[in-house]
Amino acid sequence: MKFEKIHLDDITRCYCASSITIGKEAYALFASENPESVCYSYSGKNFENREVVWNDRGGCMSIVPFQTREGEFLAVNEFYLKVTPSLAKIVHGRKTENGWEIKDVFSLPYLHRFDLYHVDGIDYLICATIARNKQNKEDWSEPGQIYVGVLGPDCSQGVALTLLVDGCYRNHGYCRGTYEGCVCGYFSSDQGVLRVMPPDSPGGEWRVEKILEGQVGEIAFADIDGDGLEEMMTIEPFHGNSMKIYKLKEGRYECDFVYPTEVEFAHTLVGAQLNGKPCFVGGVRRVNAELFIIRFQNGNYMVTSVEDGVGPANVAVIHKEGIDYILSANHTKNEAAIYKVVE
């Protein structure tokens, strides 16, 4: 597999990589974690059309588009591990004729990851805080939580959150998935990996199940060996030095592969399809600081380095006009970049 790199911008401490589709146009979104920094959108055939989404705020951990509200998203702003009390909040973004409009929705201390699940006409919001409170960056004495709520049509009205899960120390990892044909979320912390499912019907109960024990910093799922069951890839522990792939055997996850290269500060994983084949895409912040992919070929896990020395904080994969692209927030290199799959 070969890639063609598109350098979009130099962005100091580029952290978030996401996308949104408006009409038939795909917009790549990149944002910094620095205070009072930038978020840009890029569109066009080669992502040459740049627009400022914001330039007066920072601490962006993630951007999640609405599934049913075209041109709208929610994002985490003002998340800083070094700042106490926490300033973290959710903001609402909307594409207008005059550019991007950003408005605050609500604050939630140390909010790090979140998602939107559209089920039976309802927009469920799920939020994960990395900790309840912190005295300094290295203070992990208080656990993070998972909160849930229902988001109404008017984001300015905020949302009433309910505590769903407590006691998750270093509550860092998240990915969206499907289980038994329904949307779900996977959360990872020092207490392992949880599967969280929204209600089956309005007014129903959320369901929580632990699927793996151990200290896990990040997770992703993909059926990369094509056996009909998704493999789970992990970073262990928080900001860890080990990456593993687990297979589901007789209802339990068992380690089937360990990433063979020296790792320090592994940070991001996604399950995706490139060239029509399932794979894992990930990034490590130190040592080789590689952006990599893992595929399964001829009975073996195959690791390919896309680029070393870039140190991705987050990655995303989009499919545009029959071509696959990796969006990479290259934190170590302070750049926003896209990697086009060319063969």
- DSSP class of 86: -
On whether residue 245 sits in a domain, the answer given is: yes
- Structural domain containing residue 159: 11-221+228-264
CATH of the domain at 213: 2.120.10.30
Q: How many distinct structural domains can be found in the chain?
A: 1
On whether residue 170 sits in a domain, the answer given is: yes
Q: Measure the N-to-C terminal CA separation of the chain; round to a whole number of Å.
A: 5
Number of residues in the chain:
343
- Distance separating alpha carbons of residues 154 and 221, to the nearest angstrom: 33
- Distance separating alpha carbons of residues 255 and 232, to the nearest angstrom: 9
Q: What is the CA radius of gyration of the chain?
A: 19
Each of the 343 residues of the chain gets a pLDDT tens digit; together they read 899 999 999 999 999 999 999 999 999 999 999 999 999 999 999 999 999 999 999 999 999 999 999 999 999 999 999 999 999 999 999 999 999 999 999 999 999 999 999 999 999 999 999 999 999 999 999 999 999 999 999 998 889 999 999 999 999 999 999 999 999 999 999 999 999 999 999 889 999 999 999 999 999 999 999 999 999 999 999 999 999 999 999 999 999 999 999 999 999 999 999 999 999 999 999 999 999 999 999 999 999 999 999 999 999 999 999 999 999 999 999 999 999 999 7
**Which region holds residue 98: left if phi is over 0, alpha if psi is between -120 and 50, else beta?**
alpha
For the chain, give percent helix, strand, coil, nearest 5: 0, 60, 40
On whether residue 254 sits in a domain, the answer given is: yes
Report field, pTM of the whole predicted structure over 0.85: yes
On whether residue 174 sits in a domain, the answer given is: yes
Q: Which residues contact 47 (CB under 8 A, 6 or more apart)?
A: 6, 8, 28, 338
